[in-house]
Amino acid sequence: MSNIIKRAIVSEKSIQDASKRKFTFEVLPLSTKEMIKKAVEKQFGVNVLSISTTMIKGRTIRTGKKRIIIPLPKLKKATVLLKEGQSIALFEGGQG
């Protein structure tokens, strides 16, 4: 279950949302909200109140001398809202 979360998404917006107890992760495309909730609670030891997910369509890029088209994979982002007073240490560094 720990491999459901691929990585934490650290950007300007996610750092601002961290002050509102919202944390953003890239997850497996086939994972459900219940699977994501269990994985976050187990991995970080927090209580999740709600989850919103977003699918990001894969795009194509052209590269090389022959301009070959390479498809990039689609992504799924999950934004979790934590219980009052809880946070995740990965996002603490950029606040200030």
Q: What architecture (CATH level 2) is domain 2-84?
A: 2-Layer Sandwich (3.30)
Q: Kindly give the confidence (pLDDT) of every residue in the chain, 96 residues in length, as a single tens digit, with 9 standing for 90 and above.
A: 558 999 999 999 999 999 999 999 999 999 999 999 999 999 999 999 999 999 999 999 999 999 999 999 999 999 999 999 998 887 765 444
Could you state, in order of their start, the residue ranges of all structural domains in the chain? 2-84
Q: What is the pLDDT of residue 5?
A: 94
Which residues fall within 8 angstroms of residue 81, CB to CB, at 6 or more apart? Answer: 21, 22, 48, 49, 50, 51
Which residues fall within 8 angstroms of residue 56, CB to CB, at 6 or more apart? Answer: 74, 75, 76, 77
Pairing assessment for the beta strands 22-27 and 75-82 based on DSSP bridges:
antiparallel
Query: For the whole prediction, is pTM greater than 0.85?
Result: no
